[in-house]
């Protein structure tokens, strides 16, 4: 392999096999061809190392697969448009497999490797590899509708890609490898010079002549290297690639997680560039990469040693490098929007808390989610940005207990400290300070509560489903005591931006009166305050009416904000009554009324309705302030 003739023979023998395997792995012909070509360039660059490998073909295959997956990673599965029907069917079937299963299937059927070698190449035990191969084969044949014995025949059309590919001459590959070696040597020399300058060793000589570059690096072993030897001074990352923009060393280590979250032993479960599988590693994540135009990405997963719990605690760190701080700022908004709305991802997930963290990079937030699907889990998701780098962590516990805000913030600070030296990063972390903050703005009806805000009800496992907001021609949140309307005028001022929506559990067999409704609108500040006062007065005197019992269950007042809540019980007949919960909230010029009618055995836990009313008050801050003649629009719902 160190001899040019041996390398040329190896290149001609192996390149087409690697091309077919890489094409099967990625479904991307252009990425596969470029990756195999560059893998041979790297192989000649590191020919001594490849020659020492027990299986040189496997060593080059590892480089080719890594390069191909990085190149097409931004496209979850790329299909060439001009392939025949059989090839397309095979690629589509391969696309149904996870990344690990696809690797196992390709190695088992398109590479001549033994099962122990295959297991070693994919990093699994032999029994685990055999199980993955069985699952991959079953999924592949099911997707194609063929018998298990037909896998080889189904993969055969992929070999046509080799006949359609032209390759650079081996001499060109070797010349490129030599040029790359020289370029890396120069980079290494410049690194040594920089180190000498910074250390104060690179100084002018007594004669006043400045030392030359050759003098500066004399003795470091660059100029005297034979062609077959590795250069003594190089700057490169793993696999012979140029120094990585985002090294794995920037990610959290298990001891750091254990220090921030004591009481549970932690270990690293996996580290990757997130190019395999579906790439959705955080709760409510929508796409593989938060910034699809980003320059680098890494994911590290941790597992806790805790035993006996229905769900073992887990932790994940996702880090991405964007092209600019503005792009990273947009990525932070995107990710917090995904987590803060969880649209369609986990339908029984509730956003429990929202916080801002000061002193951690440029921007940092904490969001606490609770997934009420059995077994119940609670997750704190933290998103931070420092310059052009985004790093997010999530920690999931069994049950309803989340890590303490301060402990979670310490983990977030450690994550930022790990990446703040990356090129393009901004400030590192100081002592984090955590404070409550409004939840992320929702994509639709931002001034109203949404499914993500709703707690579960007892006895029902189905998720809440909300109707689209409509103009508030009627107000289903009102009670017979107040009969409030959000249309027309109040005290001489016209209602504006009035909307209403209802939330139901449509898959549950519940009485027709069951449901939760919110109505919102805006009035001038004085009229908004008067509207709330009138509702209070009517509820306070409603108990005088025969057959209606009213109990005040909560209330609070702040600077331009109020919250009042009641429970009403109305006697429908001698043997039937209906309970009703109602709250009216104000945030500046915005007003909202929330009503909830439970059903027998189907109700909110104690205190949950008050928490929901408080969330409605906070959401109301997104409602534009009531316009004042001669003034522009202010902030939402009384924010200035």
Query: What band does 225 get if pLDDT is binned at 50, 70 and 90?
Result: very low
* pLDDT at 344 (0 to 100): 55
Same structural domain, 128 and 255? no
pLDDT beyond 50 at 236: no
Is residue 554 in a domain? yes
93 and 193 in a common domain: no
Of 172-181, 263-272, 558-567, the range with the lowest mean pLDDT is: 172-181
Same domain, 325 and 222: no
What is 219-264 written as a DSSP string?
A: TSSSTT--TTSPPSS--B-GGGPBPPSS-GGGSPPHHHHHHHSTTS
Residue at a domain's end among 163, 191, 219: 163
**Residue 25 or residue 615, greater confidence:** 615
In a domain, 493, yes or no: yes
Is 417 a residue whose pLDDT tops 90?
Answer: yes
Question: Do 267 and 254 touch, CB atoms closer than 8 A?
Answer: yes
CATH code, domain with 583: 3.40.1000
Find out whether the peptide bond into 278 is cis, omega within 30 degrees of 0.
no
Question: Of 133-142, 338-347, 348-357, 628-637, which gets the smallest average pLDDT?
Answer: 628-637
Separation CA 170–CA 176 (nearest Å): 10
42 lies in a domain? yes
Full 3-state SS string of 414-444: HHHHHHCCCCCCCCCEEEEEEEECCCCCCCC
The b-or-e profile of 214-229 (16+ CB within 10 A means b, else e) is eebbeeeebeeeeeee
pLDDT, position 544: 65
Contacting residues for 436 by C-beta, under 8 A, at least 6 apart: 353, 354, 355, 356
Per the structure block, which two tokens stand in for 1?
Answer: 């392999």
Place of tokens 């391969």: 94
- pLDDT of 243 > 90? The answer is no
Residue 414 pLDDT grade (very low, low, confident, very high; cuts 50, 70, 90): very high
Helix 56-72 to helix 115-122 angle, to the nearest 10 degrees? Answer: 40
Domain assignment present for residue 199? The answer is yes
* 257 C-beta neighbours (distance < 10 Å), count: 26
Q: Kindly report the pTM of this predicted structure.
A: 0.63
Say yes or no: 396 and 497 in one domain: no
> Over the Cα atoms of the chain, what is R_g?
32
Q: Within this chain, do residues 115 and 188 fall inside the same structural domain, yes or no?
A: no
Confidence of residue 562 (pLDDT cuts 50, 70, 90): very high
Largest Cα span, the chain: 112
16-62 confidence digits (pLDDT tens):
999 999 899 888 888 888 889 988 988 888 888 888 888 899 889 98
Residue 595 β-bridge partners: 517, 582
Domain containing 382: what range?
248-436
Length of the chain: 640
Spell out the residues 6+ positions from residue 290 whose beta carbon is closer than 8 angstroms to its own: 318, 320, 331, 334, 335, 390, 392
364: CATH: 3.40.1000.70
Together in a domain, 307 and 371: yes
Do 235 and 281 reside in the same domain of the chain?
no
* Structure-token match 């793993």, residue found: 238
The answer to whether residues 150 and 184 belong to one domain is no
Residues 6+ apart with CB under 8 A from 593: 475, 477, 478, 484, 486, 518, 519, 520, 535, 582, 583, 584, 585
Residues 203 and 97 grouped into a single domain: no
Among 389, 409, 436, the domain boundary falls at 436
Is residue 37 in a domain? Answer: yes
* Residue keyed to tokens 């889990």: 377
Answer yes or no: is 159 within a domain: yes
Mean pLDDT value across residues 600-617: 95
Instruction: Determine contact, residues 260/411, Cβ cutoff 8 Å.
Output: yes
260 and 352 housed in the same domain: yes
What is the per-residue pLDDT for 126?
Answer: 83
Quick one: pLDDT band at residue 307, thresholds 50, 70, 90?
Answer: low
Structural domain total, the chain: 4
- Chain mean pLDDT for the chain: 83
Q: What is the CATH number of the domain that holds 152?
A: 1.20.140
Q: Is the pLDDT of residue 382 over 70?
A: yes
Q: Which residues contact 536 (CB under 8 A, 6 or more apart)?
A: 564, 584
pLDDT in tens, 347-375: 789 999 999 999 999 999 999 999 998 88
Sheet holding 377-386, edge to edge: 266-272, 296-304, 314-321, 389-398, 377-386, 363-371, 349-360, 429-436
295 and 397 within one domain: yes
634, part of any domain:
no
**Taking 60 as the threshold, does the pLDDT of residue 259 lie above it?**
yes
14 with 35, same domain? yes
Q: Hey, how many other C-beta atoms are within 10 angstroms of the C-beta on 320?
A: 26
> Where in 31-164 does DSSP place strands (E)?
none
- Is residue 308 domain-resident? yes
Q: At a CB cut-off of 8 Å and minimum separation 6, what does 363 contact? A: 329, 332, 384, 385
Dump pLDDT digits (tens) for 618-633: 999 999 999 877 554 4
Last residue of a domain, one of 211, 240, 269: 240
């Amino acid at each position: 392999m160190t001899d040019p003739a041996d390398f040329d023979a190896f290149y001609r023998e192996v390149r087409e096999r690697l091309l077919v395997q890489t094409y099967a792995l990625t479904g991307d012909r252009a990425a596969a061809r470029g990756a195999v070509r560059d893998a041979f360039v790297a192989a000649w660059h590191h020919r001594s190392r490849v020659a020492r490998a027990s299986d040189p073909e496997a060593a080059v295959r590892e480089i080719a697969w890594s390069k191909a997956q990085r190149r097409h990673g931004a496209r979850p599965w790329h299909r060439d448009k001009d392939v025949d029907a059989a090839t397309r069917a095979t690629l589509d079937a391969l696309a149904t497999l996870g990344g690990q299963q696809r690797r196992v299937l390709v190695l088992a059927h398109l590479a001549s490797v033994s099962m122990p070698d295959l297991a070693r190449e994919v990093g699994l035990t032999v029994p685990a590899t055999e199980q993955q191969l069985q699952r991959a084969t079953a999924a592949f044949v099911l997707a194609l509708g063929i018998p298990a014995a037909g896998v080889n025949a189904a993969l055969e059309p992929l070999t046509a890609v080799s006949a359609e590919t032209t390759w650079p001459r081996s001499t060109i590959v070797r010349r490129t490898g030599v040029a790359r070696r020289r370029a890396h040597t120069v980079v290494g020399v410049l690194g040594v010079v920089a180190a000498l300058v910074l250390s104060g060793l690179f100084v002018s000589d007594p004669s006043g002549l400045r030392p030359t570059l050759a003098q500066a690096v004399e003795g470091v072993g660059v100029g005297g290297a034979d062609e077959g030897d590795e250069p003594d001074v190089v700057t490169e990352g793993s696999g012979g690639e140029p120094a990585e923009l985002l090294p794995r060393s920037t990610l959290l280590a298990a001891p750091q997680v254990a220090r921030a979250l004591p009481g549970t032993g932690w270990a690293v479960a996996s580290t990757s560039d997130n190019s395999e599988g579906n790439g959705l590693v955080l709760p409510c994540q929508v796409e593989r990469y938060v910034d699809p135009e980003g320059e680098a990405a890494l994911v590290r997963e941790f597992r806790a040693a805790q035993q006996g719990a229905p769900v073992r605690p887990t932790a994940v760190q996702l880090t991405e490098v964007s092209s600019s701080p503005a792009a990273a700022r947009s990525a932070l908004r995107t990710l917090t929007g995904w987590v803060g709305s969880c649209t369609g991802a986990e339908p029984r997930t509730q956003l429990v808390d929202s916080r801002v963290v000061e002193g951690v990079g440029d921007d940092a937030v904490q969001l606490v989610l609770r997934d009420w699907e059995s077994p119940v889990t609670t997750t704190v998701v933290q998103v931070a940005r420092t310059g052009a780098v985004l790093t997010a962590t999530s920690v999931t516990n069994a049950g309803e207990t989340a890590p303490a805000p301060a402990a979670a913030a310490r983990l977030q600070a450690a994550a930022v400290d790990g990446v703040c030296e990356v090129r393009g990063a901004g400030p590192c972390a100081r002592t984090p300070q955590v404070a409550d903050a409004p939840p992320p703005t929702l994509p639709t009806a931002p001034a109203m509560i949404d499914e993500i805000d709703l707690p579960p009800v007892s006895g029902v496992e189905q998720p809440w489903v909300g109707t689209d907001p409509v103009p508030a021609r009627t107000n289903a949140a009102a009670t017979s005591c107040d009969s409030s309307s959000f249309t027309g005028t109040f005290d001489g001022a016209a209602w504006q931006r009035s909307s209403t929506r209802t939330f139901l559990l449509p898959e549950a067999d519940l009485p027709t009166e069951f449901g939760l409704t919110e109505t919102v609108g805006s009035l001038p500040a004085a009229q908004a305050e008067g509207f709330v006062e009138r509702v209070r007065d009517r509820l306070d005197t409603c108990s005088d009416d025969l057959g209606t019992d009213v109990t005040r269950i909560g209330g609070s007042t702040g600077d331009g904000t109020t919250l009042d809540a009641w429970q009403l019980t109305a006697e429908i007949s001698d043997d039937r009554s209906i309970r009703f919960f109602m709250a009216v909230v104000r945030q500046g010029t915005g007003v909202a009324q929330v009503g909830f009618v439970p059903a027998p055995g189907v109700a909110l836990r104690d205190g949950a309705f008050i928490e929901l009313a408080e969330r409605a008050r906070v959401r109301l801050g997104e409602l534009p302030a009531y316009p004042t003649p001669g003034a522009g629009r202010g902030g939402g719902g009384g924010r200035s």
